[in-house]
Chains A and B, each alone.
Chain A
Amino acid sequence: MSWGAKRWLLLAVACAIGVSLLSHHFNRYYLGIAIDVGINIILAVSLNLINGHTGQFSLGHAGFMAVGGYTSAKLTLELSRLLPEAAWPALFLAALLVGGALAALAGLMVGVPSLRLRGDYLAIVTLGFGEIIRVLLQNLEAVGAASGLKGIPNWTNFGWTWALAALTVFAITCMVHSTYGRGFIAVHDDEVAASAMGINPVKYKVTAFVVGAFFAGIAGGLYAHHKQFLSPTGFDFMKSIDIVVMVILGGMGRTVGVILAAALLTVLPEALRGFSDYRMILYSLLIILLMLLRPQGLFSVGRRARLGSATN
């Protein structure tokens, strides 16, 4: 699978860049939505690693996104003035990576205390971390505090977004399907048995958080340079829930399903703009009905995912 897998990745990246070069032919509005879809795919697939594969119920993913977004935006805002235009793509990539790295650090800080916690407790603690990050950002003058960070350069385009989305999907899929990666699912299925087989559950859980947070940070950076404005309230509990719903809708653990769900849940609100009054009511109803009727997600076929089973 060595060159085979990488071949797909290179193809995807080439397509992304290709479309990007031709982007002036496309409608700006649809292009914007396509970028949103790409960003949400990164968010959903990265959360899927934590929630779906490793079974750690994280409700604070927006916090990691915020860390990545603010970090990269601050870097580009400060350094773009000092560097020639030719260096800007490199600066962008560097800023995204630094944002991701800092988000990964946040993931480490969240992951370690969460080790002993189960289910609901873990959910609340991760929610708490998300809120703490938000409160900290709201008080950080260097990034605009409550009024937010403005004037971020508009460097995100289709090519960047979808190339990075392809990379995220590739990286996480390769990781999980390797022998090493089976450990994530083993830890999810039965932590006691996993440790009896020599697997260190602590390492896997923390790794899931760190890797998931890294990619969420990248998504945050892309988001920042797309919307050109960041505000702490945009990364609150609701945003985390948005991503969680994508993962659930796609069937926790099913990468393809999660990608489709991310696309669907990005496009649908746009398509339903006319019903904006009822949009959120329908959205919450969707969550309830999903759990009552089809907890294994819309897109999981054949495989009865764990949320649907009657056992613990």
Chain B
Amino acid sequence: MDWLQQLINGLALGSIYALIALGYTMVYGVLRFINFAHSDVLMLGAFAAFFLEPAVSKLFSPQSYLGALVVVLLAAALCAAIGILIELLAYRPLRSRPRLTVLITAIGVSLFIEFTCQHPAVFGAATRPFPRLLPERHFQFGGATVMSDDLVVPLLTSGLLAVLWLVVQHTRIGTAMRAVAFNPQAAALMGVNINRVISFTFGLGSALAAVAGILYALKAPGIEPLMGIQPGLRAFIAAVVGGIGNLPGAVLGGLVIGLLETFAGGIPGLSNYRDGIAFLILILILLFRPAGLLGRAQVEKV
């Protein structure tokens, strides 16, 4: 069990979880519900990249950085559009309804996407190998073999996070997002266009999920319509662990879950229970620190 290797793998996995978790936490922040369909957007991102890659490879050379960037950007844009569309059709009509209704609708949307994609006429249920978007290089680093992919993931993620932070803290729409998350009615009274902010949030979160889906697919045995479920669930748990609604918390949670899972996978007795580790952490956090690692507890007014 090479702990350095585990560390690198864990960071890579954690970064992917962080990207997905951000989408969950942003949507929860502005709409106060769990977008179950988020995990399927990451799957759609991977599939979008899958179908775009041949065309892009013809324009630019195969396995080029520019080509990979174009694929990722196109897939992200496509998924942003899909995310906005889902919100428009399935969640917006339910804006004033109890949160539980929307939650169940989200489950329905998620299942709908999964089953439709499993249909032979769409993607089919079989696993397809994912194309190599980038040239593969190895580095030796203190006894561990670092793949270029493992470096790209944290680097790309850090870059995206920096961009996200700039958007959320320093742009008008980002400030509007934070205002809506804090108090929707007050934000509306201040002239914020709630619908636009929510659409933007969905679009942004979905774009990040698409990137995460592609990064996840690079290391996965292949892509298939149900590939988003497990990472999606882990990422949601990461968002809760970090403090739902809290952006840095989502990142922290993602890294924590990613690292713990990877290390657990390396311990012989524990590896079979890998799936359950994330849930165990969730339950422990909700028992002892329900607001999450970085979250603030909310007091109900009687």
Decide if A and B touch, CB cutoff 8 A. yes
- Report which A residues bind B (CB closer than 8 A): 57, 113, 116-117, 119-121, 123-125, 128-129, 131-132, 135-136, 138-139, 192, 241, 244, 248, 277-278, 280-281, 283-288, 290-292, 295, 306-307, 309-312
State in angstroms the CA–CA spacing of A117 and B140 once bound together.
47
State in angstroms the CA–CA spacing of A125 and B99 once bound together.
16
Chain B residues near A119 (CB, 8 Å)? 99-100, 103
Whether the Cβ atoms of B302 and A128 lie closer than 8 Å is: no
Stretch at the interface among B194-202, B212-220, B249-257, B280-288: B280-288
Contact code string B255-290 (vs A, CB < 8 Å = 1, else 0): 000000000000000001101100110110011001
**Secondary structure type dominating chain B contacts:** helix
Chain B residues near A280 (CB, 8 Å)? 111, 115, 118
Stretch at the interface among B10-18, B46-54, B89-97: B89-97
Whether the Cβ atoms of B282 and A124 lie closer than 8 Å is: yes
State in angstroms the CA–CA spacing of A128 and B275 once bound together.
10
Chain A residues near B97 (CB, 8 Å)? 295, 307, 310
B175 interface residue (CB < 8 Å to A) = no
Q: Which of B105, B119, B275, B287 contacts A281 (CB 8 A)?
A: B119
Chain B residues near A131 (CB, 8 Å)? 233, 275-276, 279
For residue A107, give the distance in angstroms from its CB to the closest CB of chain B.
15
Whether the Cβ atoms of B104 and A287 lie closer than 8 Å is: yes
Q: Which of A57, A113, A311 contacts B287 (CB 8 A)?
A: A113
Q: Which of A121, A290, A307 contacts B286 (CB 8 A)?
A: A121
For residue B256, give the distance in angstroms from its CB to the closest CB of chain A.
16
Q: Which of A120, A132, A286 contacts B280 (CB 8 A)?
A: A132
Q: Which of B100, B105, B237 contacts A288 (CB 8 A)?
A: B105
Closest to A131 in B: B279
Closest to B103 in A: A120
Chain B residues near A132 (CB, 8 Å)? 276, 279-280, 283
Q: Which of A121, A286, A287 contacts B240 (CB 8 A)?
A: A121
State in angstroms the CA–CA spacing of A286 and B282 once bound together.
31
State in angstroms the CA–CA spacing of A192 and B302 once bound together.
8
Chain A residues near B116 (CB, 8 Å)? 281
State in angstroms the CA–CA spacing of A218 and B21 once bound together.
38
Whether the Cβ atoms of A307 and B283 lie closer than 8 Å is: no
For residue A280, give the distance in angstroms from its CB to the closest CB of chain B.
4
**Secondary structure type dominating chain A contacts:** helix
Chain A residues near B107 (CB, 8 Å)? 241, 287
With A128-B282, A132-B276, A135-B276 given, is the CB distance from A284 to B112 under 8 Å?
Answer: yes
Chain B residues near A139 (CB, 8 Å)? 272-273
Chain A residues near B94 (CB, 8 Å)? 291-292
Chain B residues near A192 (CB, 8 Å)? 300, 302
- Report which B residues bind A (CB closer than 8 A): 28, 33-34, 90, 93-94, 96-105, 107-112, 114-116, 118-120, 233, 236-237, 240, 272-273, 275-276, 279-280, 282-283, 286-287, 290, 300, 302
14 contacts between A and B (CB under 8 A): A120-B28, A121-B290, A128-B279, A128-B283, A131-B276, A132-B283, A284-B108, A285-B112, A288-B105, A288-B108, A288-B112, A291-B101, A292-B90, A292-B93
Chain A residues near B101 (CB, 8 Å)? 291, 295, 307
Closest to B230 in A: A131
Chain A residues near B290 (CB, 8 Å)? 116-117, 121
With A117-B290, A248-B104 given, is the CB distance from A284 to B279 under 8 Å?
Answer: no
For residue B5, give the distance in angstroms from its CB to the closest CB of chain A.
25
Whether the Cβ atoms of A312 and B104 lie closer than 8 Å is: no
For residue A240, give the distance in angstroms from its CB to the closest CB of chain B.
10
Closest to A128 in B: B279
Whether the Cβ atoms of B275 and A284 lie closer than 8 Å is: no
For residue A196, give the distance in angstroms from its CB to the closest CB of chain B.
9
With A284-B115, A306-B98 given, is the CB distance from A123 to B103 under 8 Å?
Answer: yes
For residue A221, give the distance in angstroms from its CB to the closest CB of chain B.
24
Q: Which of B33, B233, B237, B287 contacts A120 (CB 8 A)?
A: B33
Q: Which of B110, B233, B282 contacts A125 (CB 8 A)?
A: B282
Chain A residues near B272 (CB, 8 Å)? 135, 138-139
State in angstroms the CA–CA spacing of A119 and B237 once bound together.
15
Chain A residues near B240 (CB, 8 Å)? 121, 124
Closest to B282 in A: A128
With A135-B275, A136-B276 given, is the CB distance from A292 to B98 under 8 Å?
Answer: no
State in angstroms the CA–CA spacing of A192 and B301 once bound together.
10
State in angstroms the CA–CA spacing of A108 and B282 once bound together.
18
For residue B134, give the distance in angstroms from its CB to the closest CB of chain A.
34
Chain B residues near A283 (CB, 8 Å)? 111, 115
State in angstroms the CA–CA spacing of A285 and B34 once bound together.
19
12 further interface pairs, Cβ-Cβ under 8 Å (given A288-B109, A290-B108): A119-B99, A120-B99, A125-B282, A132-B276, A283-B115, A284-B111, A284-B112, A285-B112, A291-B104, A291-B105, A291-B108, A295-B101
State in angstroms the CA–CA spacing of A76 and B225 once bound together.
39
Whether the Cβ atoms of A113 and B103 lie closer than 8 Å is: no
State in angstroms the CA–CA spacing of A117 and B94 once bound together.
23
State in angstroms the CA–CA spacing of A280 and B98 once bound together.
26
Chain B residues near A278 (CB, 8 Å)? 119
Chain B residues near A57 (CB, 8 Å)? 100, 103
